[in-house]
Structure 1
Amino acid sequence: MTGELLVSAGEDGRADAAARARVVVMGVSASGKSSVGAELARLIGARFVDADDLHPAANVAKMAAGIPLEDEDRWPWLDAVAATITDAERTVVACSALKRSYRDRLRDAAPGVVFVHLTGSPELLAARAGGREGHFMPPALLSSQLDTLQPLGDDEVGVALDVTAPVADLARAARGWLDARAR
């Protein structure tokens, strides 16, 4: 059933809860969504998908040119992300999911999806964005993402994690949160 959690054997062989729910690791550019999402997927035995890979070429070109995406640009992309989430029982997707309306669209397509929101100071995120090479999202667009970001509402199922922690610690914290939800 969609949105449930499953008890399975963990890395250390003990029984623990591994997410069967669809998980979206969300946040602005350079928050570590892909790294944390991939590690979380490994920990829970899920498929990992980077939503950046689902952007149409026109979106990538627009962002690479330093032009922020509009909602009209994002809707088809979010539909592709939603289709990916509903395609498999255990999936972790790295997706910005900046606005409540974007998360609602994902929830409508994949009821039970939960969110792990990676947060950090604008200064830390800017430093990370400036240090990345070969990514289509230029650091100049970080401020537009921060302006667009709507943190998880009290009625949204999710957890916020501060990205000052190492990737492995963040993934373990997310798994711990998922495990706690299963109890």
Structure 2
Amino acid sequence: MAPTPAIPAPPVVVVMGVAGTGKTTIGRRLAELLGVPYAEGDDFHPPANIAKMSAGTPLDDADRAPWLDLIGAWADEHRASGGVVSCSALKRVYRDRLRAAAPGLFFVHLSGERELIEERMSGRKGHFMPRSLLDSQFATLEPLRPDEAGVVVDLSAAPEEIARTAEAALRDLP
């Protein structure tokens, strides 16, 4: 996929959503379209978080705080050049924490039917997040509010279409 002409001063984009929505796939494709670096949010988790989720225990706010701070620091480092990072960013307070570290973030919320997400989670191999945590993810999720810079994208489309929809939303920014 060839990059499209650069968006002037591309923002840092957080591709968000519950587990299994395709944050990594879409994040990588969007970063390629924008010609900016991509960071995998899961790589910022400390080993204790991965062990906890692997054991089927949901993370709490205290578990997520240092992880969000590391993602926020990465986003802040890329504010001048732009970037894309995947991060569940399930609660408004998590997104606020990220925005406090890196003002001007744009969120792409991948949203879809639970059945489709569960089906996708069943098909992926080697990921630490078990399907059993999907209920806790949906229970924690607070969708983007109208005052938050971002777009909600239906994840049932093909990845290329989803990435192009997100890119189009970025091009429409003032």
The alpha-carbon deviation at position 73 of structure 1 amounts to 0.2
The residue number in structure 2 matching 1:7 is none
1:63 and 2:53 matched: yes
1:121 and 2:121 matched: no
Quote the RMSD (CA, aligned, Å): 1.3
CA contact (8 A) 1:18 1:178 kept: no
CA contact (8 A) 1:20 1:90 kept: yes
Query: Of residues 159, 163, 178 in structure 1, which corresponds to 2:155?
Result: 163
The residue number in structure 2 matching 1:102 is 94
**Could you state the TM-score of these two structures normalised by the residue count of structure 2?**
0.94
Measure, in 1, the Cα distance between the counterparts of 2:136 and 2:3.
39
Deviations 1:84-141 (A, max 9, x none): 1111231100100000000000001111001000001011111111111100001110
Deviations 1:138-170 (A, max 9, x none): 111011001100000111011000000011100
Measure, in 1, the Cα distance between the counterparts of 2:168 and 2:54.
36
The residue number in structure 2 matching 1:130 is 122
- Using the aligned pairs only, state the percent identity: 50
The residue number in structure 1 matching 2:70 is 80
1:21 and 2:25 matched: no
The residue number in structure 2 matching 1:149 is 141
Deviations 1:19-67 (A, max 9, x none): 6111000000000000000000000001000110000000000000000
Which runs of 5 or more structure 1 residues have no equivalent in the other structure? 1-9
Which runs of 5 or more structure 2 residues have no equivalent in the other structure? none
Number of paired residues?
171
CA contact (8 A) 1:25 1:115 kept: yes
Q: Label 1:95 to 1:18 Cα distance change in 2 as closer, same or farther (>3 A).
A: farther
Q: What secondary structure does 1:17 align onto?
A: coil
- Stretch of structure 1 that moved more, 80-89 or 55-64: 80-89
**Could you state the TM-score of these two structures normalised by the residue count of structure 1?**
0.90
Higher normalized strand content (fraction of residues): 1
Q: Label 1:19 to 1:160 Cα distance change in 2 as closer, same or farther (>3 A).
A: farther
